[in-house]
Amino acid sequence: MEVAEYLSPRDLGRAVGLSESSVRRWADDGRLRAERTAGGHRRIARAEAVRFIRETGLELLRPDLLGFPQTEGVGGGPLPAADALVGALRASDSAGARRMLVSAFLDGAPLAEICDGPVRIALREMGLLWRDGPEGIALEHRAVDVCLQALMEIRSAIPDRRSAPVAVGGAVEGDPYILPSIMTSVVLADVGFRALNLGPHVPSVAILAAAELYAPVLVWRSAGISGAGPSLRREARHLRTLAQGRRPDFVVGGPGFSTSELPRGGGVHRLHSMAELAGFARAVLSQFGP
């Protein structure tokens, strides 16, 4: 289905079960940002509509009008229970699993809580299925892909803030795990960064080139494999050589290194959860004003 980037006041009203005049009033009093067409008609960006719905707690009755799958009947409140998500993933109910996660986001649950809660717990349990043989391995890989699809659906509804401070990062070289860095980038985008994810298995030369190219204020590295300490230390030393005023905060996370391997010196931060990342990122953004 093709997703419209802008909605009319009528369509947004239909989506939340309220009148078109209510939407116009929100736009006129500045609570809802709307643009005007050449003919003077109001149009609301899809990402702005999602922001408004999440922040005001409005019930989204017609998610399809915003390009989302129908979320009716997933239950469980703002955050789905991890065992419900595991059940959907084990049953290969990919549509149901995606609905649970997207619904939680639309209901206003912080992305960091979605990642730290049901996604982390469910994937940890699915990761044990390798003991059941090839079928279990297949289910685990499928579960990762389903969670990735849900996160990308959510990412599509977050504004692309081209003028915002930049964060750039990826998994360390040799690390094939795609989801931790995706979660990092989506959480950072939701907080307010222009988040540029370079993906899994990113060599040091590439991450350092990106630091030169994009002048980020934050660089992240996820490490799901052991032995990442030496490369992280080299990267931290290089980042400290950037011109004064361009030295980014260096955020590292994951089980691939021990505390003793943490790069020394200022500007290096080991974080243990997406909630910690979100809090840290907001503190960094606060230095740049509203």
Same fold, 6-66 and 166-286: no
> What band does 111 get if pLDDT is binned at 50, 70 and 90?
very high
Rounded average pLDDT over 16-38: 91
The more confidently predicted of residues 3 and 164 is 164
Q: What is the pLDDT of residues 224-240, one digit of tens each?
A: 888 888 888 888 888 88
- What pLDDT sits at residue 148? 95
The more confidently predicted of residues 129 and 80 is 129
Q: To which CATH superfamily is domain 166-286 assigned?
A: Cobalamin-binding domain (3.40.50.280)
- What pLDDT sits at residue 228? 83
Is the pLDDT reported for residue 219 higher than 90?
yes
> What band does 8 get if pLDDT is binned at 50, 70 and 90?
very high
Domain 6-66 sits in CATH 3.40.50.300: no
- What pLDDT sits at residue 2? 54
Is the pLDDT reported for residue 76 higher than 50?
no
Q: Which distant-in-sequence residues (6+ apart) come within 8 Å of 65 by Cβ?
A: 7, 11, 12, 14, 15
pLDDT, the chain, mean: 88
Rounded average pLDDT over 9-34: 92
Rounded average pLDDT over 112-126: 94
Place of tokens 């409005």: 58
Each domain of the chain, given as residue ranges in start order, spans 6-66, 82-155, 166-286
